[in-house]
Every structure is written in structure tokens, then in C-alpha cells.
Amino acid sequence: MIKAFSIFGSGSRPQLGPFERLVLEEVWSQGSATVRELLADGKIRQAYTTVMTTVDRLYKKGLLDRVAEGKAFRYTPRYTPEELQRDAALESIRQLLGSGDVASLPLSYLVEALSAHDAQLLDELQFLVERKRRELHSRKTQNREKKPDADGKEQR
Amino acid sequence: MFALRGIAVSLTFFVLLYCALSALVAVAWRAFKVLHAPERSIAGLLFVLRILPLAASVAITFAFVVPSFQLLEPRSSDIDEGMGAIPLAMGICALLLIGWGCFRVIAAQAKTARLVTRWLEGAQPLDVVANSQLDAETEVQMGVSFDAQRFAQGVAFRSKGEAPPLLLVGVGKPRVLVSESTVALLSHDELRIALKHEFAHMKSRDNLKKLICRFCPFPGMAKLESAWSQAAELAADDAAVSNLDDAVDLAAALVKLSRLLPIEAAPICAVGFVTGSISARVARLLAWNEGSKVQPRQDRPWYLIPIALVSVSFLCVTYAPALALTHELTEWLVR
């Protein structure tokens, strides 16, 4: 799995091109597909041979499985998007931890990044809570204002 | 020798059944995730699934394997089958498994007791006067008699020092520990609803459930336990909240306490307030409406009576053949 994912490379050197990513996403969305089925969807507008070469390359990179179906091949994804994402993250963390001369330094960067991310997330949640509170408050105020009006009308 | 062989055979059957059922549950529990039911029911179901392998293995061993061996195994000294290598090895495995479970439980209890003693040093019972409204409401809405006296006698404590912000800790005598910083940070309403959340955990005995899970370890069960833990949090949220104001107060308390980093990790026999996916819990609380409130279910045990009668009758009719079958199976296993 790690081997399969290492082809994504790290940082600024992605080794899976945009078209390869597009084809892989299309196979994920269809579950399994032949080249003709990938083209029939209309999302991929390339020549048959280009798509065929691309899926073959994805197969050789270990991201797709294939079985013969008549004269063509039916391709199925070997990993789910979540599995690939998880392993990409693991691979990145491994590379990060192995990058520094002092072993604890990259870990501290990671903790720092996570703390910043957490703080940002909590700020967003706090904002949502405050907004809901304001909504509730204004709704209550409106109800209180409406009530005396209704009482006044009844008295009249 | 007969008794020893009986114990070895029973332990062999137990460990094989336990492992097979655990493996099955570890794979199959995800099917129950898609259920649309109140979180309380989902939490209950996930817990039942978690302890099913242990409960079923113990029940089947004592109900079928032990009696079948006692009744159907020849006792004559002429027929000495010997202990057999497989029952001996499997019996030792079973004893190791049980011993490991006991060790985990005792270690968790000891660590919890140690931490609670330390956290309770200098702790004060939570101000009864300030929380008198909480007691009355808790009693009425949750059917729990947390009257002022009991409250004062030591359910909720305002702890000093290194205790986590807010948690329910302990199994036999559970206590709610609230740190000084939590009391300072939360408003009265937020603290009230956060405490109600912890009392809901206390009512559903979640710490005891955690300890039971600790007793029956098996690889691959961590995700099931994590799903149960999340469902238990959502169920406690549901139990604590009775209107939108409560929901917003609980969400606010969650966000505020998430910013407090605990100095020490909570022990096994404890349920922290800030547990599980905070963003999911807050989103759920902010989307609260009257329809979200799950009415406490009225238990109607009468419908269980016919089911129990049918089960007992079925068991009576099939017990003798089942014992014979079990004996054959154990003979085949140890051969």
C-alpha cells in the first residue's frame, strides 16, 4: 500500500499527473469500468488510446486491478480514496519525522500545526454557537414584543 | 484427572468460541452503524455487540459444555483418554486470556483510584446552594434522585490542581470532578447542563461498561469501542438537553472546555466531558429541535414473557440432543 502510494510523491513533486488523477477519480465513481465506459460518461474528453495508456499506467503503478473482458480489460480501483488519503498522510508524516537532524523538531512542528488547526476549528465552532445564541435571543425578543401587542388587541 | 480434563475441554471450547465470535463481531458490527435509531439505543446495541462474544461463550460453556462433559463423558478408570495436547494448550491459552483480562481490569481500577485520591486532595463538594436548581431539575427530568444531601455527600467535587476540566470518574462510587478553571470559565447555565451530561453517563453506568470492555480484549475491537464511546456521548447529550437553550449552552460549554488542555490524561474508568468528535457534537446540538428530544422509553416487560416462555420450552425440548451434539463436538475438537 505504501509502495502504491509513494507514487504520489511528496510536497511539490506530485508524480500522478492531473489526467491520471481524473481517470482514477472516474474509476472510483463508477466502481469498475472499461475504457469505453470511462469515455461514455462524457467527463473524459480524450482519445480512446490516451485513456487506454493512462489506465494501463495506473494499473502498472498498482492503483488499479484489471480482468479481461472480451478484447478489453475491466479496471477496478485497488484502494478506496480514504485508504489512499490515509496512507498519503502517513507517508508525509513519516517523511516529516525523518527529515530533521534533531528527531523531536519535526514532531514539534506537527504539534504546532495541529494546535493551530484545532484553535481555528474551535474559533469556527465558537462563532456558530454565538450566532445561534444571537438568533435565539432575537427570536425571544420578537416574541416578547408580539405578546403585548396581541394582549392589547384582545383588550380592545 | 477426569475433573482436570473436563476443565481443559471446557476452557478449550470457551476460548475457541470466544475468538470466533469476537472475530465475527469485529467484522460485522459496521452493519449496525447505518441504523436510524436514538443514540441511546445505538449505544446500547454497540455495547451488547462488544460484550456478546464473552457473554455468549461463558453462557454456552456453562449451559452446554460443562453439563455434557459431566453427563456423557465415561468416568470409568478403565477408559483413560488422557488430557491431550490440544485441550492442554488451548486451556492454557484460555487461562492466559482470562488472566490478562483480570490484570487489565485491576490495573485500570488501581490507576483510577490513585488518580482520584490525588485529584480529590483539597477538593470541595460543589456548591450545593448555587446548584440547588440543578438538583431539582435533574431529579425531575432524569428520574435520578440527586437531592441536595446526596450531592453534598460527594457526587460532584470542585477539584484543585491537575484534574481534567470535567469528568465522571470511578465505577463503584462514581464522582463528578469539576476543575477550578471549568467553574471560572463556564456560565451557571453552561455548568448546569454540562453536569447533567455527566450525570447521564453516571445513570447509564458508562464507566462500568468501559471496565467490562477492558476485561475482554480482542484485536480489532478498538473501532467498535470508539463507535460505542461516541454513541454514548451523543446519548448523554440527548439526555441532558431538553430545549434549544440547553442545546446551545451545552455546545458552548463543549467549545470552551475543548480549549482547556488537560495536564493529565483521564484514566480508563472515567468519562471526560470533552470526548469524541467535538465538531460533530456541536453541529448536532446546534441543529436541535423539539423533534430531537427522545422521550424516555417506558419499559414494558410484558412482551418479553411469551418470548421467554417459548425460549424456555424450546430449550427444554432440545436440551438433551443439544448436550449430545456438544459432547460429540468436544470429542471431535480434542481428538
Q: Closest to A129 (Cβ–Cβ): which among B244, B245, B286?
A: B286
Q: Are residues A116 and A56 both part of a single domain? A: no
**CA closest to A120 among chain B residues:** B259
Domain ranges for chain B, please list them: 2-106+308-334, 110-292
CA distance A123 to chain B (A): 9
Q: Write down the pTM of the prediction.
A: 0.70
- One domain for residues A58 and A13: yes
Q: Give the residue, B200 or B127, on which the prediction is more confident.
A: B200
3-state secondary structure of A12: coil
User: How many contacts does A have with B, using Cβ atoms within 8 A?
Assistant: 33
A window 108-147, beta carbon within 8 A of B: 118-119, 121-122, 125-126, 128-129, 132-133, 136
Residue B308, pLDDT above cutoff 70: yes
Where is the domain boundary, A48, A82, A116?
A82
Question: In chain B, which residues have their Cβ closer than 8 Å to the Cβ of A112?
Answer: none
Residue A129 lies in a domain: yes
Give the distance from CA B41 to its chain's centroid: 13
Domain range spanning residue A50?
2-82
Least confident of A55-59, B216-220, B331-335: B331-335
Judge if A108 and A52 occupy the same domain: no
Q: How far apart are CA B324 and CA B68, in angstroms?
A: 7
Dist CA A122 CA B214 (whole Å): 32
Q: Which of A119, A129, A136 sits opposite B282 (nearest CB)?
A: A129
Q: What is the DSSP letter of B30?
A: G
In a domain, A99, yes or no: no
Least confident of A33-42, B82-91, B206-215: B82-91
* Helix or strand run (H / E) with residue A63: none
Statement to judge: residues A76 and A110 lie in one domain: no
Say if A88 falls within a structural domain: no
Residue A48 lies in a domain: yes
* Any domain includes A89: no
Q: How far apart are CA B127 and CA B150, in angstroms?
A: 12
Same domain (yes/no): A9, A78: yes
Q: Is residue A33 part of a domain?
A: yes
Place of cell 502504491: A4
CB B157 within 8 A of CB B125: yes
Whether residue A9 sits in one domain with residue A63: yes
Q: What is the pLDDT of residue B165?
A: 85
pLDDT tens digits for B224-272?
A: 888 899 889 999 998 889 888 899 999 999 998 888 866 666 777 888 8
Q: What angle do CA B258, B263, B267 make, to 5 degrees?
A: 90
What's the domain count of chain A? 2
d(CA B271, CA B195): 12
Residue A45 lies in a domain: yes
CATH code where residue A59 lies: 1.10.10.10
Higher pLDDT, B314 or B135: B314
Question: Is B278 in Cβ contact with A125 (below 8 Å)?
Answer: yes
The interface predicted TM-score of the complex, written ipTM, equals 0.71
Element (H, E) at B169: strand B166-169
Report if residue A93 sits inside a domain: no
Instruction: Give the 3-state secondary structure of residue A70.
Output: coil
- Report the mean per-residue pLDDT for chain A: 78
